Amino acid sequence: MGYVCAECGHEVAKWVGRCPHCRSWGSLSELTEPAP
């Protein structure tokens, strides 16, 4: 399970307050597994 930035689509393994790629604050949301 990880998190994806709503602004640039960058994925990170754990939640951080700011995207390390585009530096957007509060833009990370939890990735969900697609339903089979």
Locate the domains of the chain by residue range.
1-36
Confidence check: pLDDT of 33 > 80 = no
This prediction has a pTM of 0.79
pLDDT band with cut points at 50, 70 and 90 for residue 22: very high
Say which residue the tokens 């994806």 belong to: 4
How high does pLDDT run on average in the chain? Answer: 93
The maximal CA–CA distance of the chain, rounded, in angstroms, is: 33
| Mean pLDDT, rounded, for 1-13 | 96
Q: DSSP letter string over the chain?
A: --EEETTT--EESS--SB-TTT--BT-EEE--PPP-
Report the candidate in 1, 34, 2 with the shortest Cα–Cα distance to residue 19. Answer: 2
**What's the pLDDT score for residue 4?**
97
